[in-house]
Structure 1
Amino acid sequence: DSRNRMPRSRGGGRGGQEAGRAELVSRSLQSAQHCVAGRDFGTAYAHYLLVLSLAPELRDDVKETFQYTLLKWAEELDSLNRVQDLFGCYEQALELFPDDEVICNSIGEHLFRMGFRDEAAGYFHKAVKLNPDYSDAKENFYRVANWLVERWHFIMLNDIKRNMTYHSAIQKVVRLGCKTVLDIGAGTGILSMFAKNAGAHRVYACELSKTMYEISRDIVAANKMETGIKLLHMKSLDIEVPKHIPERVSLVVTETVDAGLFGEGIVESLIHAWEHLLLQPKPKGKDGNCEEYGQVIPAGAIVFGMAVQCTEIRRHHRLGVQDVAGVHLPASVKFQSLAYSSVDSEETAEPYTTEKISRVPGGYLPLTESFETMRVDFNNLQELKSLATKKPHQISVPVIQEGVLDAIIVWFVLQLDDEHSLSTSPHEETCWEQAVYPVQNLPDYFVKPGDHVMMEVSCQDCYLRIQNIHILNADHGTDVERGSNKNEEESLVLRSEAELCSALASLQTSKPDEIRQICTLESTEIALLNNVPYHEGFKAAMSKVLTALTPNKQMDVEGIGGEMNSGNSQDRNSLHIAPDPFYVLDVSEGFSILPIIAGTLGPVKPYSSVEKEQHRLTLDLISEANHFPRDTLEFWLRCVEDDCAVLQRPKSDKLWSIIILDVIETSGLIQQEMMEKAAISRCLLQSGGKIFPQYVLMLGMLVESQTLVEENAVQGTEPTLGLNIAPFINQFQVPVRVFLDLSTLPCIPLSKPAELLRLDLMNPYLNNSNREVKVQICKSGQVTAIPFWYHVYLDEEISLDTSSETSHWKQAAVVLDNPIPVEIGQEVVLNIQHHKSNISITVKQ
């Protein structure tokens, strides 16, 4: 209707439009600023979008406040699980600021939290390229790079023996006529390029990881083979002929094997390959051109095992203490490591851990000879199919050395063909680690010559499983008879019924408490429970703080736990203790019994921030066993709306007496956002209250270590047999190596330990964000790395050393891009930069 139409402006023209636009921009800008002040970030964001679309010339002026608004609005959308809106906002922001490193980094953080590591890495990488000095993005990229391009890629590519053996085996079979090749799990594409160089006509390669696929594409192009190698970004199980590749191939090459041989799914992928992608295998005894038949490299494997004593494995998988700093751990709770729990679990999980056994601190003692556990023929489809369904077979191994049974370690010989093989034995110089099956849940672990170690071996859920490990004791008069057929189950024959009864009687132990809770912990959490100095140190430090805060200094710290927990009011009055408790908050990562230790020290209301329900139930049972009144221990994440708000007051009118922060990751790095957490914590402490630890000293030394160099980057083209791979994979090298054991790291110390940095959580004004440290050289050589560790000070007198024998922490090292030659007596200057929780160490030339 014409009557409802807006009247046209007579003054019209451009001037009026400009004035109107300017007024709208001004009003929207004011509204945006008003909304930011009122923390209405969604509306503020909409206003900023309007401002920037109408007045792009204001981009630089509003950039910082726009970034702040975007990040805050993104946090809100994330918490509301409005994922589509979240990434829609980021897309709009990137259109306006395509080269903004802060926005790129923030998108990466959201993607990483959601599990999209490949995509996250792309944004972190872009942010670092846009601003190489942007510490947050660098730290994020380094952390994600470890997920995307695992460190074993570098180690494997530097293993010249491994590369030459694969090269020889591939060259031999291709020259015999296998001209069509499929590389399963191509990684960098090195095996594909070996095949192409050997004369294969057509090479297909599949790689599931987006990052590795893109790296291999660049590498293949750089080596001028892109026309001869077809790369597929997909699982081999999804490849169809002729949809993805035009033909069945005569050779499959793969190295999809882990320390436990089957863990990367080689059995499943080869069954599929034989059924859908490979030509039929050559019948036995029949001649013919290789091109007519299919075969696999590697052709097969023999798996070996050995029973060992190893204190390092033991302390990470078995609880060696029943009392921790005065807290009794009841028999009603059974602690077990993830490697053990996966045996009975319905979930498919790795039933082993991996270790470079030759570098385990404290070494290991073989208790048996090495023994064969299994053989597999990768060129036999029926055998591969029967592996998963075959019943476990029992193995009995005689003990040759007295000791404590801690683990079965496993390695294998990969038979590439009848001429070439690779061993992953701990006695070999190899890029491989070994699989470790920790022994748990036995009444007694002691063995001696004459005993037998029994176990069941199978391949289930694509994993090599060694379970039901137990000891057959020579004293019980039992015989082990092997069946004449090696593959038959070996039977145990007891001489008589009387001996069976005798053997059973000798196994009887006093009836333990009924197990009410099985608590599954990470191996580092079990090592922490076994770390006596850690818990004793915290107990002593907390006692001092609580004593200082108690008005009456007659408080008997050692005895008060029992008195307080007995609920005896007469005792309470005689100690003149105020009824108000002290509030102690433990925000350690993972499982921690520090709140219970705090609860034994007097009128304390301890709060734990453990997240897993089984861990809460376990702590409740431990509290009960230590006679805590019911509900003494609170689980703080139940009391706060979200875990981001874990640092807040216990009650509206109360403050914390002690806040325990987990400053050091078990990997050897400082926890992310640690200083920010400390800043919040300081505001929540009562007068005289303390943060634990109060400060941390970072120590380091200069070393020469070829091992660290080779584990950190591919060293030129020699180890990769002349192929140009190093520059592409080395983009993902990370300057810091984590999870190191300095006590067994192959290295030559070139200096004494030096204090590199002090991080003070209670007095931040003492911290330096940038400092130079002079280090005296005590041995001539080449500096290739700077290992570092920490002394964690709970107070001025009580400290914990993260490099000690009992430590549950590992150490880390900065690896230099280029070695620096040094002479004895010389002084080297290190520049230490500390930004938020990120630390970088560079050598000043």
Structure 2
Amino acid sequence: MPNPRPRTRRDARAGAGAAGREQLLSRSLQSAEHCLGARDFGTAYAHYLLVLSLAPELKDDVKETFQYTLFRWAEELDALNRIPDLLGCYEQALELFPDDEVICNSMGEHLFRMGFRDEAAGYFRKAVKLNPDFNDAKENFHRVANWLVERWHFIMLNDTKRNRVYDAAIQKAVRAGSKSVLDIGAGTGILSMFAKRAGAHLVYACELSKTMYELAWDVVAANKMEAGIKLLHMKSLDLEIPKHIPERVSLVVTETVDAGLFGEGIVESLIHAWEHLLLQPKTKGEDDNCEQYGKVIPASAIVFGMAVECAEIRRHHRVGVKDIAGIHLPESIKFQSPTCSSGGAEEAVEPYTTEKMSQIPGGYLPLTACFEIMKVDFNNLQELKNLATKSPHTLDVPVVEEGVLDAVVVWFVLQLDEEHSLSTSPSEETCWEQAVYPVQTLADYQVKTGDRVAMEASCQDCYLRIQSVRVLRLDHEMEVVKHFSKSEDLLPLGTEAELCSALANLQTSRAHAAQQTCVLEPTEMALLNDSAYHEGFKRAMSKVLSSLTPEKLGDPQRPGSEMSAAGQSNTEESTPEPLYVLDVSEGFSILPIIAGALGQVKPYSSVEKDQHRLTLDLISEANHFPKETLEFWLRHVDDEAAVLQRPRSDRLWSIIILDVIEPSGLIQQEIMEKAAISRCLLQSGGKIFPQYVLMFGMLVESQTLVEESAVQGSERTLGLNIAPFINQFQVPVRVFLDLSSLPCKPLSQPVELLRLDLMTPYLNTPEREVKVRICRSGCVTAVPFWFHMHLDDDVALDTSQEASRWKQAAVVLAHPVPVEVGQELVLRVQHHKSNVSITVKQ
């Protein structure tokens, strides 16, 4: 046997190095574990980075502990607002674990909270691609997808008529000589591709959204037009010649119009385009060589309006009750929605809401004929400039139908050129909704034939504003009710009676100014109008509070007073400890005041806005409650997240009111976690409201839901391949639905799909299968769902009721399922955190 090779000095150094490396690894691992035990996550994270850089082969062994350390350290950095350090830690982690879906998802969550939605979406998408069954990442991606690619993109791309008319107008302009084109607000790039397909030599497309810009790149490349379309990720207002575009273009195409026409900034962008990006417009006497002058598609627009009666609009924008479950609303408080309160150009609130009037629940009644509000020529620079500075002009429209004046509904006709136009009228099948201007603060909303509705229209801040709405009566009485502009005192007044009436109303307006105005969101307004909701809570709270201390309730004027044997009051000696009620429902709520009226109760409200607190104080005072009856809980906690805690160190809550369902129709995020904390804070016999929730659903066939959820092939987009790319952002659940007016064919009876029990969580299951019998043949495309919120076994609130503030939601199936009468389908219902998924098993 040969002698072994003599050990060299290099071998000795290598052996010593290996031993030193092992020793350093061992010490670093021990230090990391010690720091974790001491909750020193930053130092632990640094030790793990050293370990993984020295020994990458240990990645699988320390992966879970490293993730935990990273996430806890990131939370601390976030709390300290050390954002660059936080992002740096995640970048280091992703270099070590580039295919870790958990780290990708967590990075996306931090970015989303910081407002970087585009970047967050990229990480969520990567996490889903790495693990398609990772529910947290799927839910996050669906949530951010709604922000990044709004649902109207799908509806618009499915609007064949809209696409054909735009295509025809662009073809006509390009073939007439407009060979250089700028597409402002390109979206998916469909208008740019129309222009290129028509023969344009140069096409530039600008898009501000990073997600839509990247999507347009994919779409343009898939349609083999990337060589002829230059995409620019920027606002058109920032475009410069020759920095971004070599020379002025001959045609601008755009569809930056919303329901109120001007809300997406078309006026501002076209003023800039005419001044800096477009060739000069054609003047009279010039020949028809289009290449020598500039033009815009759309060429012009006419805005129309109509006064309507609509109960659905009314209940979301006017409080129609004076007493709610025994609580009086004082006249000194005026409730308004944000559309009424947005009176200045500096305010970002849109002066209108939007509705698909043809599908609004309960329908609407036209009170006036259709009337013209204004015209705008997008090919006239001076007219565009004047539009933004012109004083409001007065409109005076006769009433043709008796009814209640609830709103002015507005739409427009978009004239793309002399030949092609699009209307957004309620009577048209169109992808657009209509702009709705709710009428508020009138003394009398009833109108009759012969009356006139007067208003002012303007576009001073690039929003179409309909303001100073008033009713001119047959006897010339005039109500001046909205004071959005400084020019309202200069309204043309004819007769002496009108002058006197106006003076009287100006005096009334000054009195109104001293009143408390409380601005509520439309869903908050609808909730205040929901008497069944408040009566239900009153009954349920009364039962719980009576069961806890029956002798203490029933006399709110003298809570807790008792008579001694000698007939003398022993109030001071025998005043009992009050029962504590906490309302942590979202937004404005008068439930704490209703609770306070039930006797010896100390209610706590978690409203956040100062004006809402002042309003609740005024309501309490008007109902003769002592000032200290109502407490505002957020004043007592340093951290809003700690709102669920004891009312006092030695006391527990008797009732905790939680918001379980969002107005959109979905389950509130983290509601089960809030319920778990709440259960620990209840006194014996105390309750969470609602105690449990039942989810109901049914099978329907609805082409509307299908078209609003995904682009349907290439036929609707005139042969352009767009669907596979934008459909990556489709979400399985549609929200803010009105089942009462949704165009659909029911294929089954409603069935119970899920139970969420907030008081007895062992009754909950994350997954269940439900058999559904088909009662009508068709093709199942969606499963709409809603909830019954049980305050107790006797009192339940139905979120599908017409008077409720809640909308409904629907799971839209990826693939329609044909069914026949008598057939049974099995639905697999899964509940994960706040998300519900439904799949069909045949």
The answer, yes or no, to whether TM exceeds 0.5 is yes
1:293 Cα deviation from its structure 2 partner? 0.4
The code of the aligned residue for 1:644 comes to A
Change (3 A) 1:87 1:702: same
Change (3 A) 1:475 1:797: same
3-state DSSP class of the match of 1:474? Answer: coil
3-state DSSP class of the match of 1:564? Answer: coil
1:383-434 per-residue CA deviation (whole Å, 9 max, x = no partner) reads: 0000011000000000011111110000000000010000000000111100
Paired position in structure 2 for 1:138: 138
1:828 aligns with 2:829: no
Paired position in structure 1 for 2:463: 463
The code of the aligned residue for 2:275 comes to E
Q: Is residue 179–residue 291 contact of structure 1 (8 Å, CA) maintained in 2?
A: yes
Change (3 A) 1:323 1:816: same
Alignment partner of 1:682 out of 660, 669, 679: 679
Paired position in structure 1 for 2:520: 521
Bigger mean CA deviation after superposition, 85-94 or 615-624 = 615-624
1:273-308 per-residue CA deviation (whole Å, 9 max, x = no partner) reads: 000000000002421310010000000000000000
The code of the aligned residue for 2:719 comes to G
Change (3 A) 1:275 1:501: closer
RMSD between superposed Cα atoms in Å: 2.5
1:599 aligns with 2:596: yes
Return the alpha-carbon distance in structure 2 between the equivalents of residues 360 and 840 of structure 1. 27
Q: Give the alignment of 1:84-483 within 5 angstroms.
A: 84-344=84-344, 346-476=346-476
1:543 aligns with 2:538: no
Bigger mean CA deviation after superposition, 317-326 or 708-717 = 317-326
Alignment partner of 1:648 out of 645, 649, 674: 645
Paired position in structure 2 for 1:748: 745
Paired position in structure 2 for 1:485: none
Paired position in structure 2 for 1:5: none
Change (3 A) 1:346 1:573: farther
Alignment partner of 1:609 out of 606, 611, 622: 606
1:233 Cα deviation from its structure 2 partner? 0.4
1:331 Cα deviation from its structure 2 partner? 2.4
3-state DSSP class of the match of 1:494? Answer: coil
Q: Give the alignment of 1:664-683 within 5 angstroms.
A: 664-683=661-680
1:327 Cα deviation from its structure 2 partner? 2.0
Q: Give the alignment of 1:619-658 within 5 angstroms.
A: 619-658=616-655
The code of the aligned residue for 1:543 comes to S
1:491 Cα deviation from its structure 2 partner? 6.7
1:122 Cα deviation from its structure 2 partner? 1.0
The code of the aligned residue for 2:524 comes to E
Change (3 A) 1:568 1:140: farther
Alignment partner of 1:701 out of 680, 698, 701: 698
Return the alpha-carbon distance in structure 2 between the equivalents of residues 189 and 572 of structure 1. 81
The code of the aligned residue for 2:348 comes to T
Change (3 A) 1:195 1:371: same
The code of the aligned residue for 1:375 comes to K
Return the alpha-carbon distance in structure 2 between the equivalents of residues 724 and 260 of structure 1. 30
Paired position in structure 1 for 2:484: none
Return the alpha-carbon distance in structure 2 between the equivalents of residues 541 and 293 of structure 1. 72
Bigger mean CA deviation after superposition, 563-572 or 705-714 = 563-572
Paired position in structure 2 for 1:759: 756
Change (3 A) 1:578 1:753: farther
3-state DSSP class of the match of 2:287? Answer: coil
Q: Is residue 789–residue 796 contact of structure 2 (8 Å, CA) maintained in 1?
A: yes
Return the alpha-carbon distance in structure 2 between the equivalents of residues 542 and 374 of structure 1. 54
1:145-197 per-residue CA deviation (whole Å, 9 max, x = no partner) reads: 11100000000000000000000000011111110000000001000000011
Change (3 A) 1:144 1:74: same
The code of the aligned residue for 1:366 comes to P
1:538 Cα deviation from its structure 2 partner? 1.2
1:614 Cα deviation from its structure 2 partner? 2.1
1:191-220 per-residue CA deviation (whole Å, 9 max, x = no partner) reads: 000001111111000000000000100000
Unpaired runs of 5+ in structure 1? 1-8, 480-488
Return the alpha-carbon distance in structure 1 between the equivalents of residues 414 and 497 of structure 2. 47
Q: Is residue 407–residue 436 contact of structure 1 (8 Å, CA) maintained in 2?
A: yes
3-state DSSP class of the match of 1:476? Answer: coil
Return the alpha-carbon distance in structure 1 between the equivalents of residues 769 and 324 of structure 2. 41
Bigger mean CA deviation after superposition, 312-321 or 469-478 = 469-478
3-state DSSP class of the match of 2:517? Answer: strand
Alignment partner of 1:815 out of 795, 803, 812: 812
Return the alpha-carbon distance in structure 1 between the equivalents of residues 464 and 493 of structure 2. 27
The code of the aligned residue for 2:622 comes to A
3-state DSSP class of the match of 2:428? Answer: coil
The code of the aligned residue for 2:523 comes to T
Paired position in structure 1 for 2:787: 790
- TM-score, scaled to structure 2: 0.94
3-state DSSP class of the match of 2:753? Answer: strand
The code of the aligned residue for 1:707 comes to T
Q: Is residue 647–residue 680 contact of structure 1 (8 Å, CA) maintained in 2?
A: yes
1:576 Cα deviation from its structure 2 partner? 10
Q: Is residue 561–residue 574 contact of structure 2 (8 Å, CA) maintained in 1?
A: no
Return the alpha-carbon distance in structure 2 between the equivalents of residues 321 and 572 of structure 1. 39
1:522 Cα deviation from its structure 2 partner? 1.1
1:780-838 per-residue CA deviation (whole Å, 9 max, x = no partner) reads: 00000000000001111110000001110000000011110000000000001112222
Change (3 A) 1:742 1:573: farther
Paired position in structure 2 for 1:3: none
Bigger mean CA deviation after superposition, 614-623 or 143-152 = 614-623
1:268 Cα deviation from its structure 2 partner? 0.3
3-state DSSP class of the match of 2:475? Answer: helix
Bigger mean CA deviation after superposition, 363-372 or 52-61 = 52-61
1:250 Cα deviation from its structure 2 partner? 0.4
Change (3 A) 1:510 1:239: closer
1:434-480 per-residue CA deviation (whole Å, 9 max, x = no partner) reads: 0000111111111111111110000022100011111111133689x
1:503 Cα deviation from its structure 2 partner? 7.7
The code of the aligned residue for 1:561 comes to P
Bigger mean CA deviation after superposition, 682-691 or 208-217 = 682-691
Q: Give the alignment of 1:491-502 within 5 angstroms.
A: 492-495=492-495, 497=496, 500-501=499-500
Return the alpha-carbon distance in structure 2 between the equivalents of residues 38 and 19 of structure 1. 28
Unpaired runs of 5+ in structure 2? 1-8, 480-488
Q: Is residue 565–residue 629 contact of structure 1 (8 Å, CA) maintained in 2?
A: no
Return the alpha-carbon distance in structure 2 between the equivalents of residues 91 and 713 of structure 1. 34
Q: Is residue 184–residue 253 contact of structure 2 (8 Å, CA) maintained in 1?
A: yes
Q: Is residue 333–residue 515 contact of structure 1 (8 Å, CA) maintained in 2?
A: no
1:601-629 per-residue CA deviation (whole Å, 9 max, x = no partner) reads: 22222222222222222222222222332
3-state DSSP class of the match of 1:346? Answer: coil
Return the alpha-carbon distance in structure 2 between the equivalents of residues 694 and 340 of structure 1. 37
1:685 Cα deviation from its structure 2 partner? 1.2
Bigger mean CA deviation after superposition, 515-524 or 790-799 = 515-524
Change (3 A) 1:576 1:147: farther
1:683 Cα deviation from its structure 2 partner? 1.2
Return the alpha-carbon distance in structure 2 between the equivalents of residues 394 and 267 of structure 1. 22
Change (3 A) 1:65 1:639: farther
Change (3 A) 1:505 1:94: closer
The code of the aligned residue for 2:188 comes to T
Q: Is residue 736–residue 815 contact of structure 1 (8 Å, CA) maintained in 2?
A: yes
Alignment partner of 1:729 out of 720, 726, 730: 726
1:799 aligns with 2:803: no
1:729 Cα deviation from its structure 2 partner? 0.4
Return the alpha-carbon distance in structure 2 between the equivalents of residues 806 and 37 of structure 1. 54
3-state DSSP class of the match of 2:629? Answer: coil
Return the alpha-carbon distance in structure 2 between the equivalents of residues 505 and 347 of structure 1. 30
Return the alpha-carbon distance in structure 2 between the equivalents of residues 401 and 281 of structure 1. 45
Return the alpha-carbon distance in structure 2 between the equivalents of residues 182 and 83 of structure 1. 38
